Amino acid sequence: MPSVATAPERVNDFVVKFANVNGTGSASANALIMKAIFRMGVPVTGKNYFPSNIQGLPTWYEIRVTREAYAARAGRVDIMVAMNAETYSKDVREVASGGYLIYDATWPRSTLLERGDITVIGVPLAQLVNTNFEGVRNRILFKNIAYAGVVARLLNLDLQIINGLLRESYGKKPKLLDSNSKALRLGYDYAQQHLQCPLPLRVEHMDKTRGHIMIDGNTAAGLGCVYAGATVGAWYPITPSTSLMDAFKGFCERYRVDPATGERNFAVIQAEDELAAVGMVLGASWNGARAFTSTSGPGISLMNEFVGLAYYAEIPCVIFDVQRVGPSTGMPTRTQQADIMECAYASHGDTRHVLLFPSNPEECFYMAVQAFDLAERLQTPVFVLSDLDIGMNDWMCRDLNWNDAYRPDRGKVLSAEELAALDKFFRYLDRDDDAITYRTLPGVSPKGAYFTRGSGHNQYGTYTEDSAEYQAVLDRLKRKFSTAVKYVPKPELIGKGDNRIGIVSIGSCDGAVREAIDVLAREKIHVDYLRIKAFPFGHDVENFLSAHSTIVVVEQNRDAQLRALLTLETAVEKSKVQSILSYSGLPMSCEPIVDGIRAALAEAPRFSAVTAKSPR
Amino acid sequence: MSFINKPRVSHPSSPVNALGLTRRQYEGSMSTLCAGCGHDSITAALIEACWGLDMRPEQVVKLSGIGCSSKTTAYFVSGGHGFNSVHGRMPSIASGANAANRDLTYVGVSGDGDSLSIGLGQLVHAIRRNVNMVYVIENNGVYGLTKGQFSASADIGSQAKKGDVNQSPPIDPVLLALSLGATFVARSFSGDKAQLVPLIQAGIRHRGFALIDVLSPCVTFNDHEGSTKSYSFTREHYHAAVEADFVPPAQQIAVDYPLGESLPVLLHDGSRVILRKLEATYDPTDRAAAYSYIENKLKQNEYVTGLIHINESGSTEFHTLNKSSAVPLNRIPYEKLVPGAAALEKLLTRYR
């Protein structure tokens, strides 16, 4: 039976990983643990590594308890709750030396003693549950809650908080509440009676989650679309973006249905494919509604033709790309940032598009709103490049705030009165000399009518095959893209202006980069960090690139796409730009960044004085 | 194409509609299609139909894909917005536009290549979604702009200008629409304006997707001996089964229809379509019967024309199913769309 060794105490700083079989109901047990830790005031992250499958394949859930509130994956596992026999031997290997393994001891395991450097804790979970619950489905489900009870006791979680969470979930279903409480108690009491509790790795109350929420990026983005005033969402189901449109629809059903008439102030259209989805967005935006689609890489590939039309005919269009692992179908349930180039230059011909890079769910909310303002101000497609890690995992974020004074920027749209005052309306005439022309909406005035086309057109909006007329429009579009710099969010600069090494990164790398900077600072290595929030890049990006001797671009793809975009779209010397790449499909952890920066310093002779001190 | 530019000013004695507008004011820019093209006759029918319905030009939204037919949206109702989108994808643009503003009239013009090959999926799903629009297929069995390839509507045995004989069975848009449960299915011939104009008018007033397949010979690539989509072949083989007269809401029915041969159908806006059955046994409200009738006639090389099927219940129309607000989505004030700061704060408790 289990023996618990005495290990050094690690309060509020460790990783618990749950190895489960998908479709067995483990998600609610794991979420219960995570939420309980959060409610104890302790910062926490939860990362779900799940298969592209409904039932029967391995799935893992990783909870990082992090008193420093790091957002990244930890890159190590201190406690493994090994509930999947199929992955058992792999799971055992993953536990860090000195760590713990919890397993179901109902059946003997021959491989148990493979490792002498970890503590193995056996709990006869199946036996406990089988003697207390009837029915196969119940037994499978409640075994999860039972191990949650064990873990809760071992980690010293607040039982009152857990019971409160159960009441919130099942308050309206007393039978379910009873069963869940009973299962939790089975595990909790077993641990209390048979195991040395708590473990040296444990949770103690803090006060660091006040003013924060746990939310995933797709939910936050969907909510952002509601607050932006979007009324039409058109989409085709694809992992990992599906929950974005689901969230939008859910919020609309809550906030946009007239209680008296049942009339709905929104339309969510499930299209036949992504080509149609983005076509509907174009049709609706062209007709004056705020419209958007949510998709992932394969969907972007299909949308390319319409994106080119939107660019050339200057139709606002908001596209959320919740990136997953490519190429092709790739690994649909794993994360990556590999659509950067695809989105930046989507479609044939000379096209360039505005990109936004949220780094967490909080930014998904605000950038969703910004995306609509930008799309309508600039009359062009705007991509919000989220990813699976941001989109589908719960992140601890600051409370979302809303300013009731906000009004959408609908851009240059002429009213009937403004049209009446005009001598004649020309769709693509640069009246304000800012490369952004005026548009009109159908149904407003016959004076505003024009013919929208993807074929060659001149500034008057009529068909042309005249070289000079064609070029004049194309050149204006280029100027318009440059002016976008004025409107897109500025990058975030962190650091003391040290001019040796500058890290440049985007999106969900942010947590890992910040953590790496802290680790390096403890070694007296100081680096600056520029987090880019949008493309096109502005002066701040140019200045940062030129101010640092070495630029290290951190991103999650194989081909260094952000680096490529920087070298194409800024004046930076290619030779001074290095890469730290992570493209395993797992969210980035800080280790490769720490190692990469050390290596960059070691390689550069002029930095040798700095790296003389041996790291760690 | 024709090179004679018509003057914008019309003769003072030109008839005007209820809005005081002449037919000329429903025209568009000059057609660049080949002289004698069937599509230009359809354009003329669309102009007549919109003028006759007293439509405010800015209320007309014209949508198309790519191809000869798709160019024609520039040739009528210049006071309405036009959208010449990408090949085969007009139905999605129309769906989105219609979702945003349910109050406008959406007229889609497509061709057999645009609708039955590259855009078949989008056409099918627009029918299924029952988007409130008129969808005209200018059907000539051939690709014009790329110079004479067979389209998916070409009949078996039809001969191309260069001599190739088509071996693959055609996709018939009327049978397709019937099988999908389309609520308004019609077929006509570009050379029969008297039949076509009321069909378009009824299609515009129908609440839901109105498909009108119009045989429209291509004078340049498909009007020769051996073609089954030529003017002469079509004239010989088209067969009117149900003529439709369109009667606007306020107007009395002036013609005496023989009992048993006419079937008035009330449209949702109060206008009526009087179906004149040329075949006594034909019932245009019976979808299955219509299907087998058309199919049998096709086997005999006859194109049945007229209002082939109508179902005016409107119950599956997109906005009806969506329970959309009566005010078009694009006109709802922002203040009514945003839940506000207080609601957000309340919502956040769900995530704590």
Q: For the segment B192-209, what is each residue's pLDDT rounded down to a tens digit?
A: 999 999 999 999 999 999
Q: Is residue B348 part of a domain?
A: no
Cβ-based neighbour number of residue A480 at 10 Å = 20
Please choose, from the candidates A385, A336, A391, A318, the residue with its C-alpha nearest in 3D space to the C-alpha of residue A356. Answer: A385
Q: Name beta bridge partners: A11.
A: A202
Are the C-beta atoms of A46 and A31 separated by less than 8 Å? yes
pLDDT in tens, A221-243: 999 999 999 999 999 999 999 99
Are A471 and A496 in a shared domain?
Answer: no
* CA distances (Å), origin B332, targets A289, A400, B94, B277, B318: 9, 25, 20, 44, 18
CATH number of the domain where residue A593 is located: 3.40.50.920
Are A477 and A498 in a shared domain?
Answer: no
Instruction: Count structural domains, chain A.
Output: 4
* CA distances (Å), origin A125, targets A86, A102, A119, A134, B305: 17, 10, 18, 15, 73
CATH number of the domain where residue B165 is located: 3.40.50.970
Are A500 and A469 in a shared domain?
Answer: no
Instruction: Count structural domains, chain B.
Output: 1
pLDDT in tens, B3-33: 566 666 778 888 999 999 999 999 999 999 9
Q: Do B99 and A283 touch (CB under 8 A)?
A: yes
Q: Is residue B10 part of a domain?
A: no
Q: How confident is the model at residue A3 (pLDDT cuts 50, 70, 90)?
A: very low
Q: Is residue B275 part of a domain?
A: yes
- Residues of B within 8 A of A214 (CB-CB) are 351-352
pLDDT in tens, B311-337: 988 789 999 999 999 999 999 999 999
Encoded amino acid at A479, one letter:
R
Are A379 and A251 in a shared domain?
Answer: yes
* CA distances (Å), origin A379, targets A196, A435, B57, B251: 64, 11, 25, 45
* Angstrom distance (rounded) from CA B113 to CA B218: 13
Are A517 and A478 in a shared domain?
Answer: no
Q: Is residue A548 part of a domain?
A: yes
Q: Is the per-residue pLDDT at A108 higher than 90?
A: no
3-state helix, strand and coil shares in percent for chain A, rounded to the nearest 5: 40, 20, 35
Q: Is the per-residue pLDDT at A115 higher than 50?
A: yes
Q: Is the per-residue pLDDT at A54 higher than 50?
A: yes
CATH number of the domain where residue A101 is located: 3.40.920.10
* Angstrom distance (rounded) from CA B22 to CA B14: 6
Are A194 and A330 in a shared domain?
Answer: no
pLDDT in tens, A271-330: 999 999 999 999 999 999 999 999 999 999 999 999 999 999 999 999 999 999 999 999
Q: Give the range of the structural domain holding residue B176, as residue numbers without chain letter.
A: 23-336
Q: Number of Cβ pairs closer than 8 Å across A and B?
A: 216
A348 Cβ partners below 8 Å, 6+ apart?
A: A304, A305, A308
Helix (H, G, I), strand (E, B) or coil at B275: strand
Q: Do A279 and B348 touch (CB under 8 A)?
A: no
Q: Is residue B242 part of a domain?
A: yes
Would you give the DSSP letter of residue A116?
S
Q: Is residue A388 part of a domain?
A: yes
Q: Is residue B12 part of a domain?
A: no
Q: Is residue A3 part of a domain?
A: no
Note the pLDDT of residue A612. Answer: 34
End-to-end CA, chain B: 69
Q: Do A402 and B340 touch (CB under 8 A)?
A: yes
Are A225 and A366 in a shared domain?
Answer: yes
Q: Is residue B2 part of a domain?
A: no
Q: Is residue A405 part of a domain?
A: no
Q: Give the range of the structural domain holding residue A440, as residue numbers without chain letter.
A: 416-487
- Residues of B within 8 A of A306 (CB-CB) are 86, 89
Q: Is the per-residue pLDDT at B63 higher than 90?
A: yes
- Residues of A within 8 A of B94 (CB-CB) are 283
Last residue of a domain, one of A350, A370, A398: A398
Q: Is residue B343 part of a domain?
A: no
Please choose, from the candidates A174, A385, A420, A228, the residue with its C-alpha nearest in 3D space to the C-alpha of residue A296. Answer: A385
Are A539 and A584 in a shared domain?
Answer: yes
Tell which phi-psi region holds residue A131, choosing left (phi > 0), alpha (psi between -120 and 50) or beta.
alpha
CA–centroid distance for A503 within its chain: 20
What is the DSSP track for A316-358?
A: -EEEEEEE-B-STT-BTTS-----HHHHHT-SSSS---EEE--
Encoded amino acid at A444, one letter:
V
Q: Is residue A4 part of a domain?
A: no
Are A238 and A387 in a shared domain?
Answer: yes
Q: Is residue B8 part of a domain?
A: no
CA–centroid distance for A484 within its chain: 24
Note the pLDDT of residue B144. Answer: 87
pLDDT in tens, A161-179: 999 999 999 989 999 999 9
Q: Is residue A132 part of a domain?
A: yes
Query: Chain B: nearest CA to A82, how far in angstroms?
Result: 28
> What is the pTM (predicted TM-score) of this model?
0.95
Helix (H, G, I), strand (E, B) or coil at B210: strand
Q: Is residue A573 part of a domain?
A: yes
Are A112 and A246 in a shared domain?
Answer: no
Note the pLDDT of residue A610. Answer: 38
- Residues of B within 8 A of A400 (CB-CB) are 344, 348
Mean pLDDT across A371-387: 98
Are A24 and A169 in a shared domain?
Answer: yes
- Residues of A within 8 A of B133 (CB-CB) are none
Q: Is the per-residue pLDDT at A5 higher than 70?
A: no
Q: Is residue A1 part of a domain?
A: no
Are A473 and A524 in a shared domain?
Answer: no
Interface test with A, best of B21, B75, B89, B349 (most A CBs within 10 A): B89
Sheet holding A95-104, edge to edge: A44-49, A58-66, A13-21, A77-82, A95-104, A119-123
Rg over CA atoms, chain A:
27
